[in-house]
Amino acid sequence: MALDPTGTTLLSASISSGVGAVAAGPGGTVDYAEPLPVPDKTGSAVLIGRIDANQHPPIALDTIRSFGPGLPLGPAYVPFVIAPGEAVRLIGRGIGPVNPADASAAPGHVLPSIAGVQVTFNGIAAELVSVQANQIVGFVPFALDGAASANAQVTYAGLVSNLYSIPVVPQNIDIVAVANPDGSLNSESNPAPVDSVVAIYLTGVGQTNPPSTDGALNTVPFLSPRRAPPITVNGAPEQPVFLGAAVGQVAGVMQVNLFVPDPGADGLNDAVYIGSAFLRIWTRSHP
């Protein structure tokens, strides 16, 4: 960059291809200097600058993820999407208090604002489960039913994050937990008896019939998804024993009661697909 003798008029400018002499400065700053030729002038100029590495947005929303574990090796080229009523994790920086806070004392264990944190999707407040500096757990508003995309934004301590755009689909099944007939969590070390019925808790089924309301408590099991997700067990279509609202849980949490057949002599679990969500139900031959 070349200025006239008064320093008020730009005579010429160019973008440097090198970083020159770089040295770390105080407080996270980076200082650099680089000799530059000045077009049509004798002599040379020196570019001197400083970058403050500490300057970054005080609050930033980086990504949105599923609440459940999901597939361990999901295709990287498939973007994450959300569905109305789905439980999600919002990951960011400075998006909540240092000490975690939650809505466990609320009837549905959700609130539209916790510890001064609020999340909106297309301007609609989401019901929140828990908040902290780097992660927020909440539910996608049912009002996004029919939308193609949503802009998510976090407000905390008077600061507003960037807008994070994400596609919206009618249904995006996410498995939360699997319970054995005795109510304990299904696992390799705690399998379900073969030919028993397990309860699968999930979110992301989308809007229901009749329509669900954000933050409401499921008091009756008669809510059903507008579109029933296909279910297969070990590659064969399976009709669920029950598919409806998980009573006692907040709206958006659904329940599938599923018969688990014998996986075979060499099998330790049943491979289950609910929509595009995959899970293994661990089984044993005898109760």
Pairing label, strands 277-284, 192-193: parallel
In the block, tokens 């930033």 appear at 60
Q: Is 28 helix (H, G, I), strand (E, B) or coil?
A: helix
Q: How far is CA 110 from CA 127, 180, 193, in A?
A: 6, 26, 34
What tokens does 1 get?
């960059």
pLDDT of residue 36: 59
Distance, CA of 208 to CA of 84 (rounded, Å): 10
pLDDT of residue 57: 74
Pairing label, strands 44-52, 149-156: unpaired
Distance, CA of 36 to CA of 2 (rounded, Å): 10
Within 10 angstroms of residue 29's Cβ, the number of other Cβ atoms is 14
What tokens does 234 get?
């070990």
One-letter amino acid of 116 = G
Burial of 17 per CB tally in 10 Å (0-12, 13-18, 19+): exposed
One digit per residue, the tens of pLDDT, for the chain of length 287 reads: 555 555 566 656 555 555 555 555 555 555 555 665 666 666 556 555 555 555 567 899 999 999 986 544 445 555 789 999 999 999 999 999 999 999 999 989 999 999 999 999 999 999 999 999 999 999 999 999 999 999 999 999 999 999 999 999 999 999 999 999 999 999 999 999 999 999 999 999 999 999 999 999 999 888 899 999 999 999 999 999 999 999 999 999 999 999 999 887 767 899 999 998 999 999 986 54
Distance, CA of 219 to CA of 189 (rounded, Å): 32
Distance, CA of 212 to CA of 103 (rounded, Å): 20
One-letter amino acid of 149 = S
Rounded to the nearest angstrom, the gap between the alpha carbon of residue 274 and the centroid of all alpha carbons in its chain is 20
- For the chain, list the domains and their CATH numbers: 2-52 (no CATH), 60-167 (2.60.40.10), 174-284 (no CATH)
